[in-house]
Structure 1
C-alpha cells in the first residue's frame, strides 16, 4: 500500500540553536481599540489573554500540525505594537533542536491574533487579520534568513562557513583495501570537503594501509609541512589491524579524550556499536590529530558533533583567547 504521509527523519541532523519570529496585524475599529487599550472588555484584558494563548499554542504546535516534530522550547515571547486602528503582534520562539521553529512562531502568532478576534468580535464584527508572515529565522545549515519584505532582507551564510579560514589541514585514510584500490575512499572525501567548505587550505591527502610505520610517516610529513590539523579516518576499532589510536598516542604529547567521548556518545544514538570505537584526538608537536571511525556514516556523525571544536582547539593550542 502506498505511503501517503510521513514525518521527515531529522535524526542525522545536528542540534543547533534555532530562532524564528513571525509577525501579523489585526485591524479593528477606533472604538474597539480604545476598549482594548483601557483593558475594560467584557471578557477581560484582551491583549494579556491573547499573549498567554499564543504562548500556549506555540508549545502545542505538534498537536495541531500532524507532521510537525514535537520540540522542547526554550523561550516563547509575544509582544504588541499599537497604532490607531491596528495591533501589530510578533511571536518569537527559541530552542535547541534538529529542526526549525518557524511553525511554532507562526502558530503562536495566529492563535494570538485569533484570540483578539474572539474577544473583540462581540463589539466589532468588522475585524481583519492581515500581513501574517515569517519575519526571520536562524539556525541550522540555512544560517540567517530574513523575509524580503524587510528593508534589511538578506540571506546570510551559516556562521561556521569560514571557521577553518587560515588553517592548513591534511587528511589520511587508513584502509588496507582502499589503499589497494578495492573500493573508493568516501570517508576521506567527507573530511576533505568538510574543511574545504569552511575555508580551510588542504596541504595533502593520502590513503595508506593499516601499518604503524606508514602512519608515522604521514604524521611526520604533517609536522614538517607545518600543518595545523591532521584528520584521520579508519583503524579505530578493536581488530588486530586497527592501530591508529595506539600509534598516535605513542608519539603524542597530549590526548584530548573529549573528542572521542563526544563522538561515541553522539553515535550511540544511532547504534550501540559506537561505544566500540577508539576515536580520540591528540597533539603531536604543533599538529592537532583528530581520529574518526572508518565508515562514511560514522565520519559524518563525528563531524556533526566535533567538527566545530576542531578550529577552536587549534587556536587554544596556539595560546589564543577563547
Structure 2
C-alpha cells in the first residue's frame, strides 16, 4: 500500500525516505537556537560547584562547548537526511542553575536549508559530554528538555 505524503518532507510519494531536493531554494541567512538541560543529583552538583565545575578531565563547560561545536560541524554525518551545510557561526551558553546546567546552542549559516538539526545536535552533544565528564560522581544525572527554541531565515520562522 502506497501512502501519499504531503507533510513529511523526507518521504516521497511512495513513503520512501530520502534527502529533500533544495536546489530550487535561494540561499538565505538561517539561524537556529536549541537547548538542553542537565540535572545532577544534589551531592554531585554540590561537588561540581565546590570544584569550580572542573573535573580531572578538565573544565566541564569548556570541554562540552568544544564537543558541541565539533558535533554541529558533523551533523550531516550523524543524521542521514541532513544536508551538509557551511557553518557561519556557532555559539554556546552553559549556565549553572539550581540543580544543573542549561546549555544553549546558536548556529547560523547562509544556505538553502536551515540549521535546526545542527543546533539540536550541538546542544545534545554538549549535554552528553557533561554526563561523560561527571559520571564518576553518580549515574543519576538526567539530560532533559532537548528542544528547539527558535529558527529564522526560511519560509517559516519559529519561536518557542
2:63 is aligned with 1:49: yes
Shift of 1:47: 1.2
Corresponding residue for residue 82 of structure 1: 96
Relative to its length, the structure with more strand (as a share) is 2
Corresponding residue for residue 132 of structure 1: 146
Shift of 1:40: 3.6
Report the Cα distance in structure 1 between the residues aligned to 2:17 and 2:155, rounded to whole angstroms: 25
CA deviation map 1:166-188 (0-9, x unaligned): xxxxxxxxxxxxxxxxxxxxxxx
Corresponding residue for residue 12 of structure 1: 24
Report the Cα distance in structure 2 between the residues aligned to 1:145 and 1:40, rounded to whole angstroms: 35
2:82 is aligned with 1:31: no
Corresponding residue for residue 141 of structure 1: 155
Report the Cα distance in structure 1 between the residues aligned to 2:64 and 2:46, rounded to whole angstroms: 16
Which sections of structure 2, spanning at least 5 residues, go unmatched? 1-13
Report the Cα distance in structure 2 between the residues aligned to 1:21 and 1:35, rounded to whole angstroms: 30
Secondary structure of 2:68 counterpart: helix
Matches within 5 A, 1:237-316: none
Which sections of structure 1, spanning at least 5 residues, go unmatched? 148-322
Secondary structure of 2:104 counterpart: strand
Relative to its length, the structure with more helix (as a share) is 1
Shift of 1:3: 8.8
Report the Cα distance in structure 2 between the residues aligned to 1:99 and 1:15, rounded to whole angstroms: 8
CA deviation map 1:275-307 (0-9, x unaligned): xxxxxxxxxxxxxxxxxxxxxxxxxxxxxxxxx
Structure 2-normalised TM-score? 0.85
Report the Cα distance in structure 2 between the residues aligned to 1:92 and 1:139, rounded to whole angstroms: 14
Aligned length: 145
Range with greater deviation from structure 2 (110-119 or 79-88): 79-88
Corresponding residue for residue 118 of structure 1: 132
Report the Cα distance in structure 2 between the residues aligned to 1:24 and 1:75, rounded to whole angstroms: 19
Report the Cα distance in structure 1 between the residues aligned to 2:89 and 2:74, rounded to whole angstroms: 13
Secondary structure of 1:110 counterpart: helix
- Judging changes above 3 Å, is the alpha-carbon distance between structure 1 residues 4 and 78 closer, same or farther for their aligned structure 2 residues? same
Q: Does the CA contact (< 8 Å) of 1:35 and 1:41 recur in 2? A: no
* Higher relative contact order (CA closer than 8 Å, sequence separation 6+): 2
Secondary structure of 1:11 counterpart: coil
Structure 1-normalised TM-score? 0.43
Report the Cα distance in structure 2 between the residues aligned to 1:115 and 1:103, rounded to whole angstroms: 18
